Structure 1
Amino acid sequence: MTGHYLSRRGLLFGAVGAAAAGLLAACGGGGEDSGSQGGTASPGAGGGGFPTSVAHQFGTTTLAAAPKTVVSLGWADADALLALGVVPTGILDWLQAWPVGVGPWAQDKLNGAKPQVLKGPEINFDAVAALRPDLVTFTKSDNVKATWDQLEKLAPTLSGPKGTQPYGTTLKDQTVMIAEILGRKADGEKLVADNDKALADAKAANPTFAGKSVCVAAAFGGQYGAYTRGDGRVQFMEALGFTNSPKIENLKPQSFYAEVSKERVALLDADLTVMFAIGAGAELRKDTVLNSIPAAKAGRLLIIDDADLVNAFSTNSVLSTPYTLEKFVPMVQDALK
């Protein structure tokens, strides 16, 4: 494989190969993108009453009035805010993929605004403070309390729900919690219901997906990593009717993925095997170890190297779901013919 396999963080983002290695190098600075201009938070019409309070893993966040300046730091928080008609003043760009901080599925929701884009995933607290936020959303992260404590000194900061593993905040919790702190819980629940309906419609239109096993994976550190039921990518596949590979779940991993060495590559075999490969699709297609599994030999190995599709899949938001369904479902249909 070109360059080297990636770290655990690369696996988190579903990124493989040289393109992702560049992404990881860019993540180290954690500063501001000087090419971005500050936007203005604009809560959408129909907001609810204040004050609002939302309990989360580190306490309770309370707002006395509708926020005017919102900074989005959690992975995919910006999508939830934009879906609610709120344009963040600042966005932490976890994926370092887009100059405007969000993917193509969400960019029209900016309505021409140019939020300040902060390089991620590390947080530059000085850059956040300079935006003078009156709300910080941080619902999907590594769940480090010390980070939340520091952000809370700057502004009311909404974290993820109790009992959630790092980066494990679900689409539903992320959307509804953000909507609730904005006094618009019902709007958030409607967004989730619409998202669920889109997935249910896709499932109903593809009955052959039901009950088939799936393994969703990437490559890192000279080995592979298969995502588990705590990960949004797997939850997306389950919503389409698939069952995450019992071979992976039986490993009982303590994270959002299970490590799979090349010697145990057979664990990646399933009725459908999906591999993420930003910038390294050709190399994975030549990976003789990976291509030894029955799924590969039968044409049921999907290597996804379209960066926007991988990022949409990994983002798993109410805005990215339609994009992922449109691009990804036909590929699955072809693979399972």
Structure 2
Amino acid sequence: MNSRWNRRIGAALAAATVLLGVTACGSDTGTTDADKSTSASADAGQYPVTVSGKFGETTIESAPTRAMPLSPQDADILLSLGVTPIAIPVDAQNRAATGGSGVWPWQVEAFGGKTPETLDMETGAGSITEQLAVLEPDIIVSTGFWGLDQAAYDQLSKQFPVVHFDTKANGEPWQDSTRKVAAALGIPAKAEEVIAAAEADLAKARADNPTIAGKTYNAIIGDTGGQLSVLASDERGIGQFLTSLGLVLSPYATTLPVDADGRGILSYENVGDMNADVLFVVSPTGDLGYLTKFEGWNALPAVQDGAVVSLARNTGLPNAVGFPSALSLGWATDQVMPLISDAVAKGAAG
């Protein structure tokens, strides 16, 4: 999900949660204790548990059984821990990229092929209120939700424990977010298990593809009204993923001014400065026409050699690597590593 979508949802969510307490108290869905149970309770730790957060500490008094994620990344974290969320948040962009289901390819197996309940985040504050009331969560997971601000947190935390980020959404290593959510769910050992397995898979992919190690890269994330957004740090999202495979972010990218989301800002006239061994481009459908019309882009050695990896949003790849989890990274590695190997080979041949 992009940050504009999340901020739009955040505004609606803040308004919706003002009314949530009244609505939820009048809700009677006939849900039984058996219906509410998830695998979170199978390995419950000691309670109460307190976890940190940017907008305030959250104390969970007893083992949660109905976890509601506010971003697809948060749904991934829950699924990686063996916990099925009571619903997944969706919008038009998410549905368009997943054939209407809202379920990403790497989530399908975790859901056992079943279509989960959804929380439609584009239906307005009143509808979100009603949906949350019916879903009856007993914990909110929001480590990757850009729309969570102090106002939304204050309203939500009156009704539920809200497990969220310490600095910014998707601004911390996925390992740290996984550990925090697992601690809140009372299954800290499970976090270490899934993190170790995911890191082992990444290490194997790196070892199996030694020609990639040390190659420099740049990543163009998209157009932002006449300028380019580019990756400016290897400490989060796609940068963390590519670094784990042995690639190195170009020094030039780290010198760029950044926006509020930490992305580098580059004018089109300077696109020729994005030289690197491999170039990654995120676009809606894989169409690079917005770049190929500029001579500076076409003159880059990597472009001339064909050392360009396209990550189309409608494939889910940017979401898998840009909003990583133990669940998404395995799928993403299988999909992206052959593309990187091919790009490196073309660059070497050129």
Q: Structure 2 length as normaliser, TM-score? A: 0.79
Equivalent of 1:152 in 157, 163, 172: 157
Deviations 1:97-133 (A, max 9, x none): 3344331111221235543322348984513344221
Give the structure 1 partner of residue 22 of structure 2.
Answer: none
Structure 1 pair 179–122 and aligned structure 2 pair: CA distance change class (3 A)? farther
Farther-moved stretch of structure 1 (170-179 vs 120-129):
120-129
Question: Any residues of structure 2 matched to 1:241-320 within 5 Å, and which?
Answer: 241-253=246-258, 255-281=261-287, 283-284=289-290, 286-289=292-295, 290-305=297-312, 307-320=315-328
Q: Which amino acid aligns with 1:159?
A: H
Give the structure 2 partner of residue 329 of structure 1.
Answer: 337
Q: Which has the larger radius of gyration?
A: 2
Deviations 1:151-190 (A, max 9, x none): 11221111112xx244313211111111110111111122
Equivalent of 1:137 in 115, 134, 141: 141
Conservation of the 8 A alpha-carbon contact between 1:168 and 1:256: no
Runs of 5+ in structure 2 lacking a partner?
Answer: 17-30, 346-350
Q: Which amino acid aligns with 1:310?
A: P
Query: How far is 1:65 from its partner?
Result: 1.8
Farther-moved stretch of structure 1 (190-199 vs 55-64):
55-64
Give the structure 1 partner of residue 199 of structure 2.
Answer: 196
Question: Any residues of structure 2 matched to 1:1-337 within 5 Å, and which?
Answer: 10=2, 42-44=38-40, 45-93=42-90, 96-97=94-95, 98=98, 99-111=100-112, 113-120=114-121, 124=125, 125-126=128-129, 127-142=131-146, 144-161=149-166, 164-220=167-223, 221-229=225-233, 230-253=235-258, 255-281=261-287, 283-284=289-290, 286-289=292-295, 290-305=297-312, 307-337=315-345
Deviations 1:223-274 (A, max 9, x none): 3211132431000011111111210101252533111111110232211110
Distance 2:55 2:94 in 1: 28
Distance 2:343 2:163 in 1: 41
Conservation of the 8 A alpha-carbon contact between 1:56 and 1:159: yes
Aligned residue for 2:199, secondary structure, equals: helix
Give the structure 1 partner of residue 25 of structure 2.
Answer: none
Query: How far is 1:282 from its partner?
Result: 5.3
Distance 2:188 2:304 in 1: 48
Give the structure 2 partner of residue 3 of structure 1.
Answer: none
Conservation of the 8 A alpha-carbon contact between 1:40 and 1:69: yes
Farther-moved stretch of structure 1 (45-54 vs 171-180):
45-54
Distance 1:155 1:293 in 2: 52
Distance 1:123 1:321 in 2: 32
Give the structure 2 partner of residue 6 of structure 1.
Answer: none
Query: How far is 1:315 from its partner?
Result: 2.6
Conservation of the 8 A alpha-carbon contact between 1:129 and 1:154: no
Structure 1 pair 131–327 and aligned structure 2 pair: CA distance change class (3 A)? same
Structure 1 pair 274–199 and aligned structure 2 pair: CA distance change class (3 A)? same
Identity of aligned residues (%): 29
Distance 2:101 2:44 in 1: 26
Farther-moved stretch of structure 1 (48-57 vs 108-117):
108-117
Distance 1:226 1:84 in 2: 32
Conservation of the 8 A alpha-carbon contact between 1:148 and 1:159: no
Q: Aligned residues, how many?
A: 311
Name the structure with the higher helix share: 2
Structure 1 pair 41–287 and aligned structure 2 pair: CA distance change class (3 A)? farther
Conservation of the 8 A alpha-carbon contact between 2:74 and 2:141: yes
Distance 1:187 1:62 in 2: 20
Deviations 1:37-74 (A, max 9, x none): x9856124333233222122222222222212211114
Conservation of the 8 A alpha-carbon contact between 2:202 and 2:245: yes
Aligned residue for 1:96, secondary structure, equals: helix
Conservation of the 8 A alpha-carbon contact between 1:136 and 1:157: yes
Structure 1 pair 286–217 and aligned structure 2 pair: CA distance change class (3 A)? closer
